[in-house]
Structure 1
Amino acid sequence: MIGEPELDDAWETDRAAQPTEELAPREREAGGPGARRPWLWALGGAAIASALWAGGLYALGDRLAAPELSYRATENLCQDFEAQALGRIAGDLHRYRPMNQQNDHPAVRGAICVLQNGETVSSLRVRTQVDLHHKTDPAAEFDVPPLGLAAELGAGRTEAVQGLGERAVLLAAPGDAALQLKVLDGGAVFTIETYSTGSTGNTPADTAALQAAMVEDARALLAALKK
């Protein structure tokens, strides 16, 4: 039977009697008296990670902080949204019962205006919305595609619009029967949607004209609500 190795007292004595020698580099790396303790490295790494984590939280909190709003709240969006450019295409959009609605939620104050160019039958319907974000900056989620619109009308194409607000994007449904222009600027999100009725879609010329009119009317709305 193999027993436990015996500890010889002489071995202990001989080991203690030897003069202290400098550990070789290999022994120092293995954890001898001159070696750097692994837990010191761990503590250092943890401190660095903690600092980076805190810095990340600070940066994230900076992005999520309440934005400085550059726009005033509207009391009646249908009055502020004149839609003159779209009116040149479809006729007077304010003539037939404009629908105005708003809320005063402390996080997001929103307003909606719905216009159309006919009493019971219309060839163009326009929906405009303004959201003023009081708690968090809307920039982080601005590029999220509108799931409700895509589910209702199908996947379409998206393109950036230059020279309008901080960022602007246009979504066109299949056949371009519905267009959505969304603008981010100064803590506010402006949305203009047009729905062409009575046909399955628009010609490229129709789409180009509607897009240009939507951009023009969006720019006028931003100017009207600018503080």
Structure 2
Amino acid sequence: MITEPELAGDFEEIETDEIVGGAKPKTRAKKTWVWALGGAVVASAVWGSAFFAYGWGDGKPDLRGYKLRKNSCESIPLKSVGVAIAKSDYAVAGESNLLKDAALERLRCAIPLGPGYSGSDSWVTRYDVEVTVTLHKGFDPGAEFEARRRVTDRGLLLSPDSVSAVENLGEKAYFLINDEGAELHVLDGGAVISMRLSGYQQFEGDPDKLSSESPPMPDVYIYRAAIISDMSDLIPKLKR
């Protein structure tokens, strides 16, 4: 009686005696196992990268220790901008708005900078700083941050020459400038931090003496270095 052959040990290369169309097919069981092993190694490397980037492979971005509290606006340092514009160090509590959700947390701080400066005909130049911190808990904001690198906080799409990269600040940082103000956006893990400086002219004199033309808007680009410096001071404070 002819019995089925028993399999033992590793698969060996087997040549069949059955000829189809003059060809002698071969099976290569060993190489199949080698390719399977190679695929497993590649998959392990991919998962390892995911573990390193997001932590334990849960798909959630690393928040890098950022913590948002109701009083976070009180500790925002504006030393460089404050000295450059208002001639004093500013770390005052402005208007704050805090959102906490399972998907994200967002803090907005609006800070009036200084009492303003009187010009001619009772026109006053004023400056405001707005800080926004968003912690993305459910997804990595990196791709969206890069796609919106030319978009201001007000939703305006700027020309490429209005945007410049800033080195040594978070993972990525971009400085934006337009007629409405200057903005610095920083990506750091799952956190996106923005600082916006805007200047405007306000008439505070006798309405009967109001002229039809207002003074030109203040140039806020000259405070680029001060904004970057204050952002560098702000990032570690948000992690305490």
With normalisation by structure 1, the TM-score equals: 0.64
Partner residue, 1:207 = 221
Give unpaired runs (5+ residues) of structure 2: 1-16, 54-58, 117-123, 202-215
Post-superposition offset of 1:154? 4.4
Counterpart-to-counterpart distance in 1, 2:132 and 2:231: 11
User: For 1:167-186, what aligned pairs fall within 5 Å after superposition?
Assistant: 167-173=172-178, 175=179, 177-186=180-189
Residue type at the aligned position of 1:226: K
Structure 1 residue 166 corresponds to structure 2 residue 161: no
Partner residue, 1:102 = 98
Counterpart-to-counterpart distance in 2, 1:183 and 1:131: 11
Structure 1 residue 75 corresponds to structure 2 residue 70: yes
- Higher helix content, 1 or 2: 1
Partner residue, 1:88 = 83
Structure 1 residue 197 corresponds to structure 2 residue 191: no
Structure 1 residue 130 corresponds to structure 2 residue 133: yes
- Larger mean CA deviation between 77-86 and 146-155 belongs to 146-155
Structure 1 residue 35 corresponds to structure 2 residue 25: yes
> Does structure 2 conserve the Cα–Cα contact (< 8 Å) formed by 1:69 and 1:132?
no
With normalisation by structure 2, the TM-score equals: 0.61
* Cα deviation 1:109-150 (Å, max 9, x = unaligned): 11010112348x652121101122222333333212254547
- Higher strand content, 1 or 2: 2
- Larger mean CA deviation between 211-220 and 68-77 belongs to 68-77
Residue type at the aligned position of 2:148: P
Counterpart-to-counterpart distance in 1, 2:138 and 2:79: 33
Partner residue, 1:220 = 233
Post-superposition offset of 1:193? 0.8
Counterpart-to-counterpart distance in 1, 2:225 and 2:63: 29
User: For 1:9-48, what aligned pairs fall within 5 Å after superposition?
Assistant: 32=23, 34-35=24-25
Number of residues paired by the alignment? 190
Partner residue, 1:145 = 148
Counterpart-to-counterpart distance in 1, 2:217 and 2:157: 12
Counterpart-to-counterpart distance in 2, 1:101 and 1:182: 19
- Larger mean CA deviation between 142-151 and 124-133 belongs to 142-151
Q: Closer, same or farther in 2 for the Cα pair 1:149/1:130, shift >3 Å?
A: closer
> SS in structure 2 opposite 1:137?
coil
Between the two proteins, what is the percent identity of the paired residues? 22
Q: Closer, same or farther in 2 for the Cα pair 1:122/1:107, shift >3 Å?
A: farther
What is the root-mean-square deviation of aligned Cα atoms in Å? 3.9
Post-superposition offset of 1:100? 0.7
Give unpaired runs (5+ residues) of structure 1: 1-21
> Does structure 2 conserve the Cα–Cα contact (< 8 Å) formed by 1:94 and 1:115?
no
